[in-house]
Structure 1
Amino acid sequence: MTAKFPLTRRAALGGASALAGMSALAQTGQRAAAQTAQPKKGGTLTFIQNSEPQTLVALTTVATPALTVSAKVTEGLLEYDYDINPRPALAIEWTISPDGKRYAFKLRPNVKFHDGKPFTSADVAYSIQLLKTVHPRGRNTFANVTEVKTPDPLTAIIELSKPAPYLIKALTAAEAPMMPRHIYEGTDPLANQNGNAPIGTGPYRFKEWARGSHIVYERNPDYWQPDLPRVDRIVFKILPDTGARSIAFENGSGDLGYRTPVALADLDRLKKVPHLVFETKGTSYSYNVSCLQFNLDSQYFKHLKVRQAVAHAIDRALLIKTVAYGYGTVCYSPIAPGLKAFHDPTPSPYKLDLKKAESLLDEAGFPRGDNKIRFKVPLDYNPIGDESRRASEFLRAALGRIGIGVEVRAQDSSAFVKRIYTDRAFDFTYNGHSNLFDPTVGVQRIYWSKNFKKGVPFSNGSHYENPKVDALLEGAAVEIDPAKRKEMFFEFQRIVAQEIPDVPLYSPLYLTIKNKRVHDESLTADGVEANLAQVWLDA
């Protein structure tokens, strides 16, 4: 059957506060759209980057800094509209067999990598197998791939052992980048220098990376779409300081940033700046859940009663109000409310109850000492968002009320990933997980015991193991009956709600901020994580 336009639905945000914010932002976006004129060519787009990426290619990581920069150079087979309907990119046609186990792609002719080598089906086959091996989510996404056939240079056929109903939605540039086989073959992909100076097929070519300062991409004059890109260069300015980012947007030295690139406390003030526009377009490809994630090998959190006590001590609504300034929706599940087809809205069995928390800690063998402290433990937070530190301080105060002494421990993104996923030298962490468009792709990796793999970032960091959960996740990954698949995910949610390898807290509402001179930056479901080929600037 032909599968160019599979039926999907627009994912919706939940929560009154989020909807209220959406209304005002939509009006702002409509006014900006009404002023859009004929696209112009030339100029430099300055993208404000919260933190420095570990790599410029989203092959071995799903960390946001890498997702931001990757797709401008390294493209995917498909792109997606706001409703997650696929559109041509490096593939121009595709079909799916009736049994869902064969995906055939016709590739775009005359596409070249930046070094002049042709892009062919051999690169697709190599990339799929590479993603299956080293990509944190690719281990799930491509788990059923048995072979990628290449009958000719412009045809790639993905053969599966079992159906993968989510696969046709998983082929964006940032999620499934098509890599140059001739650059990677015979090397360690984790150490390959292409991550530092990438070669791809994209609209921009890598120019330079000044560590700690900026990354520069320049227009690819040989891009397969001759009229694109429209801007001459993109400069990713790395500004870890929240105040500096706000200033950059205010004074016009920063043009674009996403995932709410400023302190939430600054938003009301910045919304009054006449040259700034705030949008929520381009966020339907990925919803997030912020959570408190336990290391189940920890001497403290290996005890269920200790984890239950922690869950009983947290007021989610207050956290959203004080930490997220209302830009979020309470979430009790690892599956975000935006994924309405799969999200179970049932409240946590561990409601706010400090007396119950105290009792559970006593039962677990951790009584209060002479100093009223039961035990002390470090809390590491993912530094990707500015609210992470504030949320960690909130959690420190909350757990202090039940006698758990928390030391909030800060580090940069690289050190955080190494501590949590390689060294496993942590007790618990405030973290965020992208659900993407389907739980098999975005959620399974966090709870699937087979995805406990040291060194792979944003995998099963808790070291959670439950054979029933494994069976449900693996079953849902191949089930083509939507009703049966939904029930599998609901049962999964019921189990992890009881066992709490982590405590889901809320689903953030992310904003894109741009100077009003910037146009056409969020034309797909993944917004500015896409290739920015069509973005253009007023003089």
Structure 2
Amino acid sequence: MAACTRRHWLTWAGVGGGAAVVVGNGPSAHAGEHLKVLRYALRVAETTFDPVQVQDVYSAIPLEHMLEGLYTYDHLARPVRLKPLTAAGMPEVSADFRVFTIRVRPGIFFADDPVFRGQPRELVAADYVYSIKRYADPVNKSPNWSSVDELGIVGLAELRAQALQQRRALAYDHDIPGLRALDRYTLRITLREPRPRLVQKLVGGFVAVAREVIDGYPGRSGEHPVGTGPFRLAAWRRSSHIVLERNPRYREHVYDAEPAADDAEGQALLARFKGRRLPMIDRVELSVIEENQPRWLSFLDGSHDLIAHVPEAFIPAALPGGRLGPHLARRGIQAQRSLTPDVVTTIFNMDDPVVGGYTPEKVALRRAISLGLDVQREIRDVRQGQGVPANSLVQPFTWGFDPRFKTEMSDHDPARAQALLDLYGYLDRDGDGWRELPDGRPLTLLKSTQADQTSRQLDELWRRDMTALGLRLQFKVAQWPENLKAAQAGQFMLWGVASSAESVDGAESLAWLYGPMVDGGNLAHFRWPAFDTLYAQMQALPDGPERAARLRQAQRLAIALMPCKTHLHRYVTDLLHPWVQGYRRPVFWQRWWDHVDVVRS
């Protein structure tokens, strides 16, 4: 999920010209050669390539191919399985789940960069110490700090507090007991409380950056993502075009995996590619195309090699009757349809004077809005059947997800919504057809949205459903990255966004509502002490009935207080031209370019 720690990636849910080119680190290693190039489009613009700032999946996708964490997921294993990436093996874990000792694999090198003065730069344990500390540095203003702080690394919060008190940057060279490089290759993490699933937090998270790079590009580290991964940044035109090329310094790494014995697809991929050196392609070219039609047409005319997530409006053309269209099949195009571990939501700003707050009338307003939204119609008419109603924030394929768990989140009951509004004083006092607030002041809902076609279709459903309740609705249109910034700053009323799981732990989805993360992943600014207590208890407990019971309690609290409305879990259909070989949509992780080949005739 990843370039930063441990919240779920925010993605454009459909619910809502670039700056100068930034050139990578020197000429291509493949100049003049025949290159294997993968080309496709992102639906939303990236934000930055500084891992301490990244919260969105669109930045995470390229970043995870450049910068690496200690662990990853087996690319073919279903159910998912952890495996070392830059670590030499799985961690040594103390009996109380508080001390984790990890050995970094020797012989891994960063991509070349001028800051290294022409010398190879080896990855060492101290790089992870430095990279983790960057989240705590007040200078960086990381929106992910609250997620890191919640882990309870001994001494890290205190080190940050000293920097804040003295109004200076973090003292990176100051030793803390919770984060130490015991020697060149050995990292030790010590926590205040038990964290049985810490290794899941290290999957793609806490990616390693070199201090020389951060110091060498002051204030511009997000433009210079220098890592140990299979690709490096070659060119970048913000919000328009991103080019990555094979990293010549990348270590010897071959295709290997452990698919289940009864996984025919996985076994076939392993038989075909086992032992091939990774990456198998030389270059990746990403375009940012926010509108559905040009993105679809760029795939059909062969300008792009795949379309990752066919726009819902084109599902009838791509999969008539649920099967690949004959016009596509004749061209050798492949289709993969997957239920994804995500949840599409509408978040309410709990600090907003209209929809926020915890008094009965505010809760009633949010519940009425939820009951008034016709999610089944959304799935049928806008998403072309590509989804199933969501009853809570917990996503499919994660621990704690129960498809039998039924709540009012998936109900469409306008009569009940009308009754709630009447009961709590949201009445049309002046007869103009619109309800007022209980104190008689005008009531207008303001929904942040985007200008793309899917958002416009969803906004029309919103307008229809809210009009039926007598609730006046207006829209504030901006690009997705701007809406994310506004949400992070608490400057919104309603916004539709999706959360994609980046680990197998379903309880992590509730971090969206954890009070101490208000300045990070908790975009709703939800604060409820009983919920926070349950969430904290879940982090210390091993998976089992006791933890599951707390998860269910927390889910019910979130549903009762309604800081966010869950809509659906999405199906995603990916289409690939026949020259793209080896593709399999990842479950939680974003890294897959190194596992595909592009063989053009």
Query: What TM-score results when the alignment is normalised by the length of structure 2?
Result: 0.75
Amino acid at match of 1:203: P
Give how far 1:131 is off.
4.3
- Superposed counterparts of 1:335-484, under 5 Å: 335-339=394-398, 341-343=400-402, 345-348=405-408, 351-368=411-428, 369-374=430-435, 375-381=443-449, 387-422=454-489, 424-438=490-504, 442-453=508-519, 456=520, 459-484=521-546
Counterpart residue number, 1:300: 354
The answer to whether residue 283 in structure 2 is matched with residue 287 in structure 1 is no
Paired residue for 2:334, among 258, 274, 277? Answer: 277
Q: Which residue of 2 aligns with 1:198?
A: 225
Q: Is it true that 1:184 corresponds to 2:214 in the alignment?
A: yes
Tell me the equivalent position of 1:255: 305
Partner secondary structure for residue 60 of structure 2: helix
Cα distance in 2 for partners of 1:333, 1:465 equals: 18
What SS class does the counterpart of residue 164 from structure 1 fall into? coil
C-alpha change, 1:169 and 1:432, in structure 2 (3 Å) is same
Q: d(CA) in 1 for partners of 2:504 and 2:536?
A: 13
Which position in structure 1 is the counterpart of 2:591?
530
Matched residue, 1:152 = 183
Unmatched segments (≥5 aa) in structure 1: 1-40
Q: Which residue of 1 aligns with 2:81?
A: 85
For residues 293 and 575 of structure 2, what CA distance do their matches in structure 1 show? 15
Deviation of 1:53 (Å): 0.3
State the shift of 1:97 in Å. Answer: 2.3
Tell me how far apart the structure 1 counterparts of residues 446 and 473 of structure 2 sit (CA, whole Å): 6
CA distance in structure 2 between the partners assigned to 1:171 and 1:513 by the alignment: 31
Q: Distance in 1 between matches of 2:249 and 2:396?
A: 42
Give the distance between the partners of 1:439 and 1:201, measured in 2 at CA.
27
Q: Retained in 1: the 8 A contact 2:196–2:540?
A: yes
Q: Secondary structure at the match of 2:66?
A: coil
- The answer on whether the counterparts of 2:291 and 2:453 sit within 8 Å (CA) in structure 1 is no
Aligned partner of 1:51 among 24, 40, 44: 44
The alpha-carbon deviation at position 451 of structure 1 amounts to 0.7
Where 1:510 maps in the other structure, the secondary structure is strand
- Quickly say closer, same or farther: Cα 1:523–1:317, change in 2 above 3 A: closer
Deviations along 1:384-418, whole A, 9 cap, x unmatched?
x9644433321221111001121233211221112
Point out where structure 2 has 5 or more consecutive residues left out of the alignment.
Answer: 1-33, 114-119, 155-177, 254-276, 319-323, 357-361, 436-442
Aligned residue among 272, 282, 293 for 1:232? 282
Q: 2:146: which partner in 1? A: 139
Partners of 2:582 and 2:294 in 1: CA distance:
25
Contact residue 71 and residue 86 of structure 2 kept, 8 A = yes
> What CA distance in whole angstroms lies between the structure 1 residues aligned with 2:132 and 2:49?
19
- Look up the SS of the partner of 2:344 in the other structure: strand
Q: Provide the C-alpha distance between the structure 1 equivalents of 2:537 and 2:450, rounded to a whole number of angstroms.
A: 31
Range with greater deviation from structure 2 (387-396 or 204-213): 387-396
Inter-partner Cα distance in structure 1 for 2:397 and 2:595: 27
CA contact (8 A) 1:381 1:430 kept: yes
Per-residue deviation at 1:359?
A: 2.9
Q: What percentage of aligned pairs have identical amino acids?
A: 21
Matched residue of 1:291: which SS? strand
Alpha-carbon deviation of 1:89? 1.1
Deviation at 1:514?
2.2
- For the Cα contact (< 8 Å) 2:507–2:538, is it kept in 1? no
Say if 1:482 and 1:138 are closer, same or farther in 2 by CA, change over 3 A: farther
- Per-residue deviation, 1:136: 4.9
Quick one: distance in 1 between partners of 2:550 and 2:49?
36
2:493 is aligned with what amino acid? D
**Cα offset for 1:377?**
2.0
Q: Displacement, 1:531? A: 5.2
Q: Does 1:122 align with 2:126?
A: yes
Q: Which whole-Å deviations, capped at 9, do the CAs of 1:273-324 have from their partners, x for residues lacking one?
A: 134222257x8xx711111211122232131121121122122222211222
- Change in 2 beyond 3 A, CA 1:246/1:342: closer
Q: Distance in 2 between matches of 1:138 and 1:512?
A: 34
AA matched with 2:182: P
Which one of 366, 374, 383 corresponds to residue 324 of structure 1? Answer: 383
Q: 1:329, 1:353 → 2: CA distance?
A: 18
Q: Who wins on radius of gyration, i.e. which is larger?
A: 2
Q: How does 1:50-69 map to 2 (within 5 A)?
A: 50-69=43-62
Contact kept? 1:388, 1:430, Cα under 8 Å? no
Q: Is the 8 A contact 1:434 1:442 kept in 2?
A: no
1:406 is paired with a residue of what secondary structure?
A: strand
Over 3 Å counting, the alpha-carbon distance change for 1:333 and 1:526 in structure 2 is closer
2:201 pairs with one of 170, 182, 205: 170
Change beyond 3 A, Cα 1:371–1:380: same
Instruction: Kindly provide the amino acid, as one letter, of the partner of residue 84 in structure 2.
Output: P
1:392 and 1:430 in contact (8 A); partners too: no
Does the CA-based 8 Å contact 1:137-1:441 persist in structure 2?
A: no
1: CA distance, partners of 2:311 / 2:410: 31
* Count of aligned pairs between the two proteins: 484
- Tell me the CA shift for residue 501 of structure 1: 0.8
Residue 465 and residue 419 in structure 1: after superposition, are their counterparts in 2 closer, same or farther (change >3 A)?
same
Separation in structure 1 between the aligned mates of residue 380 and residue 225 of structure 2, nearest angstrom: 41
Give the residue type in structure 2 aligned to 1:109: P
Maintained 8 Å contact 2:503/2:588: no
AA in 2 matched with 1:177: V
TM-aligned CA deviation for residue 438 of structure 1: 4.5
Q: Write out per-residue CA displacement over residues 23-81 of structure 1, whole angstroms, 9 at most, x where no aligned residue.
A: xxxxxxxxxxxxxxxxxx94111121112201134432221211221111111211112
